[in-house]
Amino acid sequence: MAKEVFICNVDDLATRLGFKVINGDETVGIFKLSNGEIYAIGNECPGCGFPLTDGIVCEDTVYCALHDEQVDLKTGKELTDETGTHQVKTYPVSIKDNKVYLTI
């Protein structure tokens, strides 16, 4: 059953940098874009397993720091995957009273 979990205050998130959240055996990357939108995706690069929170964010894409794999933060899809089969899980994020909540 899905539950909503408090993560942090919006102001605690640095723009265009990843924030790692560990919940049991799941590791989630939280990303705040330049326009203030916040997204949450599985934190492992679908190509190599490297933490996406160590990557570089440009617009709504995170680039894997290990080999420049590109992952769309909105859909979780690997943009450089020609087969279209690689992607990471996306998680709903909500903002209430300047607090970030993740549904897991």
pLDDT band (50, 70, 90) for residue 55: very high
Cα–chain center distance at 34: 14
Q: How large is the average pLDDT for residues 46-75?
A: 95
Domain count, the chain: 1
Range with the lowest mean pLDDT among 28-32, 53-57, 84-88? 84-88
Q: How large is the average pLDDT for residues 69-90?
A: 91
More confident of the two residues 76 and 23: 76
Please name the residue that has the structure tokens 């102001």: 11
CATH number for the domain spanning 88: value is 2.102.10.10
Which residues constitute the domain of residue 12? 4-103
For residue 84, pLDDT beyond 80? no
Model confidence, pTM: 0.92
pLDDT band (50, 70, 90) for residue 53: very high
Q: Are 18 and 55 in contact (CB under 8 A)?
A: yes
Give the Cα separation of 1 and 84 in Å (integer): 29
